[in-house]
Homo-oligomer: A and B are copies of this chain.
Amino acid sequence: MIGIGVIGYGYWGPNLVRNFAEVPGCRVVAVSDLLIERLAQVRNRYPAIKTTTDYGDLLADPDIDAIVVATPVSTHFPLAMQALSAGKHVFVEKPLAPTTEQVARLIAHAAECDRVLMVDHTFIYTGAVQKIKDLVTEGRLGQLYYYDSVRVNLGLFQHDVSVLWDLAVHDLAIMDYVLGEHPYAVAATGVAHVAGQPANIAYLTCFFERNLLAHLHVNWLAPVKVRRTLIGGDRQMIVYDDLEPSEKVKVYDKGIFLQNGRSGAQDEEGIHKLLVGYRAGDMWAPQLSLTEALRVEATHFVDCIEHRRRPLSDGEAGLRVVRILEAATRSLANGGQPVELSREQVYT
């Protein structure tokens, strides 16, 4: 039985406690938070869980094997480092840390301590993204052409991070998992419409080898809520709409093909044209697992601890996402100038 300690009981903490409380093979031993009202909520709902305002109590508790960090981003690094040093496995809310340098140190320290380090990339544990990953891996889409996502709504403006770090982090985590490739450059543009605040609308382009292009649109100031991703390949294409109540993933047997045996033709105006044909077939919406993503993820974390497995969203996944966010932030500050991600940087 893995003992879990949760640091932070704000917005996301209650969801983490609720899920870890119901995963077989683990139990939530204690929760810490700076606010005693929140701790009262914990005791009210879970009388058996210990509470404290001092997270140090959790690090010192021999019944606790793993620490879940659900605090503001700026505190992720020191808390996770201390937890690893205390011999605990660590599960950290996204993004793993605010800089690649800190993420790299966390990865190194976890390796030294021989502990599991996992970042909470929740979406990759949804039935929808799991299915998309399967389809891509099976080659159903053929060669990938593009990845295009839109994640916009009204609110919630953050005061300390831009919309990239708040919303695009989700899409980058999904993209990293689904594509299994790393961009060699990124470019981002965006604007802060409230003076003195971080950007509330942003567009992020990721350049990959072999003409694969990814693009993300994130916006805190949209009149409607949109959560839609298009993934195009040379065999099939996917529309993933997370707001659809039931058919979130639609697979289209559509595409183009080049006319066989000839690369082009003379058209009536005497111009040499390549003949591009269009193929339209069935659409198919596979049945998806309805298990709550956080439940799947919490179960996976416990499983990785027990069997010393590497999590799907390990420190490296966290690093790849933070590296893109960091480069995108730099590009945005430079008016959209593309920023290269050297291969050494990616894999060091």
Say yes or no: is A215 at the interface (Cβ < 8 Å to chain B). yes
**Do A222 and B194 have beta carbons less than 8 Å apart?**
no
Say yes or no: is A318 at the interface (Cβ < 8 Å to chain B). no
**What does DSSP make chain A's interface, helix, strand, loop or mixed?**
strand
- Per-residue B-contact encoding for A32-61, CB less than 8 Å = 1, 0 else: 001100000000110100000000000000
Say yes or no: is A160 at the interface (Cβ < 8 Å to chain B). yes
**Do A159 and B273 have beta carbons less than 8 Å apart?**
yes
Q: Which residues of B contact A34 (CB under 8 A)?
A: 268-269
**Do B211 and A283 have beta carbons less than 8 Å apart?**
no
Q: Which residues of B contact A190 (CB under 8 A)?
A: 213
Q: A309 to B154, alpha carbons, bound, how many Å?
A: 40
**Do A159 and B278 have beta carbons less than 8 Å apart?**
no
**Do B187 and A336 have beta carbons less than 8 Å apart?**
yes
Copies in the complex: 4
| Also in contact, A145 and B274, with CB within 8 A (given A247-B283, A287-B280) | no
Q: A249 to B82, alpha carbons, bound, how many Å?
A: 53
Q: Which residues of B contact A269 (CB under 8 A)?
A: 34, 72
Q: A108 to B208, alpha carbons, bound, how many Å?
A: 44
Name the residue in A217, A230, A247, A250 with the highest tally of chain B Cβ atoms < 10 Å from its Cβ: A230
Say yes or no: is A111 at the interface (Cβ < 8 Å to chain B). no
Q: A193 to B208, alpha carbons, bound, how many Å?
A: 13
**Do B203 and A224 have beta carbons less than 8 Å apart?**
no
Q: Which 3 A-B residue pairings sit nearest by Cβ, starting from the closest? A: A223-B252, A223-B237, A283-B285
User: A residues touching B (Cβ–Cβ < 8 Å)?
Assistant: 34-35, 44-45, 47, 72, 145-146, 148, 150, 152, 154-155, 157, 159-160, 185, 187, 189-194, 196-197, 201, 203, 205, 207, 211-213, 215, 217, 219, 221-225, 230, 232, 234, 237-239, 243, 245-247, 250, 252-256, 258, 264, 268-269, 271-274, 276, 278, 280-287, 335-338
